Amino acid sequence: MATSDPRTAAALVIGNELLTGKIQDANVAVLGKTLFDLGILLRRVIVCPDEVETIARDLDELRRSHDYVFTSGGVGPTHDDVTIDAVAAAFGRRRVREPALEAILRRHFGDRLTEAHLRMAEVPEGAELVVDERTRWPTVLVGNVFVLPGVPKIFRRKLAAVRRRLGGGKPFVSRAVTTGSDEGELAELLLRLVREHPAVAIGSYPRWSDDGYRLTVTFDGRQEGEVEAAVGALLAALPADQIVEQGSEL
């Protein structure tokens, strides 16, 4: 399935509630960090409304241009849960009822089971069910598209459950140096580091807090030696009293 090196991923985050500001997304950061630790680059995220045509069009484009795609949201039993329809449309497949999912629903809901519940047993034809002991409900995988729920707690649990399907790559390494230096004063030095360490992605993030102004410089790469060399070059060039903190997190 995966072909790029490093492997690439995209996310399609589905839900009117995010676009109207009712809810702040929490899944993209968790996904990005999880993939980063697995050596997979999250390259693109699209947030779109609960519309079959929009989701299907975006999904089709994302699945063709990335090794993995993760959808978040729209998998419940109500009218605004249209992700499965859209995944089916993106792959040109029918929706079919999956007996294994139907059995779980019947066990869980018993006499309270409705036709709407049974919609949740439908998947695009040919979908794979990723089973893991940590989740009662298998994760639907269609081609290279993992269909995950939007509720953050369940999203995280499902992501952990499919993690083993994504393993095997060389993880990224990240280091961070925080200074009191001004970004404008450091810009020229950072540009030199970027040129001298092409295998390292260098980022520069200012923030203003109660402690005053701080600038954190991050170094990401797959070769730990190269990342450490770039960090060393920054530390060597900075006045010692300007170095506030060193670590692995922004």
160-189: contacts with a second copy (CB under 8 A): 172, 174, 182-188
Residues 82, 87, 202, 227: which binds a second copy (CB under 8 A)? Answer: 202
In the complex, least distance from residue 53 CB atom to a second copy, rounded to whole angstroms? 13
Sole residue written with tokens 């004063």 = 185
Comparing CB distances to a second copy, the nearer of 51 and 128 is 51
Please name the helix (run of DSSP H) or strand (run of DSSP E) that holds residue 96, with its range, or none: strand 95-97
Interhelix angle 152-162/27-37, rounded to 10 degrees, is: 20
| Beta pairing, strands 135-142 & 145-148 | antiparallel
Q: Which of residues 69-88 bind a second copy (CB under 8 A)?
A: 76-81
Residues 52, 104, 190, 238: which binds a second copy (CB under 8 A)? Answer: 190
- Using CB under 8 A as the binding criterion, the count of chain residues that bind a second copy stands at 71
Tell me: does residue 214 bind a second copy (CB under 8 A).
no
Comparing CB distances to a second copy, the nearer of 131 and 187 is 187
Q: Which of residues 19-58 bind a second copy (CB under 8 A)?
A: 19-26, 28-36, 41-50
Q: What does DSSP assign to residue 166?
A: G
In the complex, least distance from residue 147 CB atom to a second copy, rounded to whole angstroms? 17
In the complex, least distance from residue 78 CB atom to a second copy, rounded to whole angstroms? 4
Instruction: For residue 99, give every residue at least 6 positions away whose Cβ sits within 8 Å of its Cβ, in sequence order, or none.
Output: 121
Q: Which of residues 85-114 bind a second copy (CB under 8 A)?
A: 109, 112-114
In the complex, least distance from residue 74 CB atom to a second copy, rounded to whole angstroms? 11
Please name the helix (run of DSSP H) or strand (run of DSSP E) that holds residue 148, with its range, or none: strand 145-148
Tell me: does residue 134 bind a second copy (CB under 8 A).
no
Q: Which of 72, 38, 45, 16 is nearest to 165 (CA)?
A: 38
Query: 173 forms bridges with which residues in the sheet?
Result: 221
DSSP3 helix / strand / coil % (the chain, rounded to 5): 40, 30, 30
Tell me: does residue 238 bind a second copy (CB under 8 A).
no
SS3 state of residue 203: strand
Instruction: For residue 22, give every residue at least 6 positions away whose Cβ sits within 8 Å of its Cβ, in sequence order, or none.
Output: none
Comparing CB distances to a second copy, the nearer of 128 and 183 is 183
